[in-house]
Structure 1
């Protein structure tokens, strides 16, 4: 027994000293180098305190935004609303992933491998185990296939381009999968078959940290939430939102025509906006992982307090993002896209939305924080939330409350809703032709605060 103890001690000494560069001192654990990098298309909003709420006349007598001083941490924010072009990138990714998954499953059922031609080229990468690491092999043998489909954990082969032209389909199995993605011939007209958008679903998992932090008895898995969201925008909002009005061109063309690529996406409900954030996070961190780089901060919807702080652009007591209290500049031009006169939507040179980078940005470099489209926030709407919300990074999260705060006013709203302190709401599962969104990302590292 003494010999065994001595052997363990010697081994521990050898293992503890070999390759050690700290000379026995407390030097900490060195990780990957982190260099804060401003995300593409975003601006840094420095953290700080401000007076949140109605600092001028509450003409609507809502009494839902009493003034109070709050403090928010630094964050990045999209300089514009998310555009049609940017959201289409999300739609394309989901569409392609659904098609690749269908192809891979059918290839597996047929016993095809990536070495075979035809549909076999789209088989799961894990079907060929010759080039995978020991760890990947272990994970595949022990954890893959745990889920609803039995293919969870299998890697899709994205090295082969999808084929969209019917005359170029490699075999009948590929044709079978592609046919399942489109509307039936009975549902088409003008000879054009289109994708069945109800099949474009994005699945992601998030953790309810608020609930987990307050429940010491629950297991971690009890707070993991699996979301499956249909991500295609509701283009019919252009018809449904306006009775007895001709808006069919917007319904037909607004989302997909290149003429509207840089316009803000609309017809997206709160859940779809959250799914977009999760996808953006996953896409970027997948890129980081492939290059052995540090993971980036979380993309999410802004809290109501963050949105108002960013909209004010560092101007205390501002009525509008450009200061206030006027909606015309010194040349007599309107400073935002809204409804300035009764029935005259075009007085500001715009009938519907305008390009996301229109008008002058505020002092943080953010465009259209007033007008164009209202914007979803992460905050649940409550008349009295200012009374009980925290004064440090306030955000009322209530998953049972379907009313979510929207801010900024839109192209069809009067000036009151453009004011930085005006609160409004919409139901989370509702999509509108005048509501879009922009995202934020937490700033990590040295604290950046405004003087």
Structure 2
């Protein structure tokens, strides 16, 4: 009986060990799919096999912040003071994506202009230049901003303005190419066979020369399957901007209930820090009333008569700066009054040339401004009253127009799982 007991215990232990070893077997993932196909059993990366290289995920593009997707109530929570009735509340869901932590600043746009001037025609360079005349006003002395705001070092990290929707999209395309070039070089180096650097003082010069040759090698075009091709930068959609700005992640409980809704990208209905060491300081720069762009000098001042340096005000719960105030921002969508009624409730986006055509509006007789060149901008600016700082509010402007109060930031699709 004693032997039977020992034998039974040993058998149980063997079963448990087998089960444990099976459970520890790692399941294939997108980044580590394994050495062979789980459907056909055929080996990857063989002479005639499908090439599925092990891949270490690249970090997100510079300055991008991961925004976890989810559902939210899109639309204005405020009274419709414009009486447009173009922004009713509705529930939509947004897929996870990346968004710039800050607005594109003057120094970033000057970097783009420098590259364009070297590699493009004079005509394209001229088209890429921001309209600095947006600062000029016959009844204001803003002349210094016309000549200084874009290029003076003191304004380097102020948000770029005077940029049209078309110019903002051109910047996104250039940034995609610039960042992809860097990643392509990384991918080519990763794909090269390691030759094994020699050790010893006599070999240092040879190793340095080889490293320099690898670094300066002209990158070859990589396929999307390699994983080193950067998804394109683009303007955020209206729904993405609103979702990222309101940042409801900071109000949520584990059971999907929310403690409160938000009017602005922060809690409460005031424009000041409600508590803490910085209690009473402004949470954004905006126009407080007729003729009042900042308040009196001192601690009650928001620190900016016009724009202010990026990151000057607290980030929201998504880690994004200036999603209200500083400058309003272009989004990708074409403007239509019924956008919130017509678009899909998943990744809502309004594109031109589809549904509610521009021909339905009487623009020829000047009874309507609606056409396919109108683009939405959001977020409120230094020259706006607090009403426009609510993420749900929306306005529009021609895609070739520019003002001193509208800038932009970029967004990008989030690929794969972050778990």
Distance 1:313 1:419 in 2: 12
Q: Is residue 2:26 matched to residue 1:55?
A: no
The partner residue of 1:295 within 211, 229, 232 is: 229
- Aligned 1:101-112 pairs, distance under 5 A: none
TM-score normalized by the length of structure 1 = 0.63
Q: Name the SS of the counterpart of 2:376 in structure 1.
A: strand
Return closer, same or farther for 1:321/1:374 CA change in 2, 3 Å cut-off: same
User: In 1, are the aligned partners of 2:284 and 2:313 still within 8 Å (CA)?
Assistant: yes
Q: Is residue 2:295 matched to residue 1:339?
A: no
Deviation at 1:292? 2.5
Which residue is 1:71 aligned to? Answer: 93
Deviation per CA, 1:406-425: give whole Å up to 9, x if none: 00011001111111111111
The partner residue of 1:363 within 312, 317, 328 is: 317
Which residue is 1:89 aligned to? Answer: 111
Deviation at 1:350? 1.3
In structure 2, list runs of 5 or more residues that go unmatched: 1-34, 45-49, 189-227, 252-259, 296-301, 354-370
Deviation at 1:200? 5.3
Q: Name the SS of the counterpart of 2:294 in structure 1.
A: helix
Q: Name the SS of the counterpart of 1:85 in structure 2.
A: helix
- Aligned 1:10-409 pairs, distance under 5 A: 25-27=41-43, 29=50, 30-31=52-53, 33-98=55-120, 199=122, 201=124, 230-239=127-136, 242-292=137-187, 294-314=228-248, 315=251, 317-330=261-274, 331-347=279-295, 348-398=302-352, 401-409=372-380
Return closer, same or farther for 1:36/1:245 CA change in 2, 3 Å cut-off: same
Return closer, same or farther for 1:295/1:244 CA change in 2, 3 Å cut-off: same
Runs of 4 or more, structure 1, over 6 Å off, are: none
Deviation at 1:317? 2.2
Q: Name the SS of the counterpart of 1:51 in structure 2.
A: strand
Return closer, same or farther for 1:379/1:302 CA change in 2, 3 Å cut-off: same
Corresponding residue pairs, total: 301
TM-score normalized by the length of structure 2 = 0.68
Deviation per CA, 1:309-340: give whole Å up to 9, x if none: 00011246210001232112233332111100
Q: Name the SS of the counterpart of 1:283 in structure 2.
A: helix
User: In 2, are the aligned partners of 1:83 and 1:265 still within 8 Å (CA)?
Assistant: yes
User: In 1, are the aligned partners of 2:285 and 2:294 still within 8 Å (CA)?
Assistant: no
Deviation at 1:56? 4.0
The partner residue of 2:394 within 413, 418, 423 is: 423
Distance 2:73 2:303 in 1: 33
Deviation at 1:238? 0.4
User: In 2, are the aligned partners of 1:83 and 1:356 still within 8 Å (CA)?
Assistant: yes
Deviation at 1:27? 4.7
Deviation at 1:22? 5.6
Distance 2:86 2:148 in 1: 38
Which residue is 2:22 aligned to? Answer: none
User: In 1, are the aligned partners of 2:76 and 2:390 still within 8 Å (CA)?
Assistant: no
What is the RMSD of the two structures over their aligned residues, measured on CA atoms? 2.1
Q: Name the SS of the counterpart of 1:300 in structure 2.
A: coil
User: In 1, are the aligned partners of 2:61 and 2:179 still within 8 Å (CA)?
Assistant: no
Distance 1:58 1:32 in 2: 53
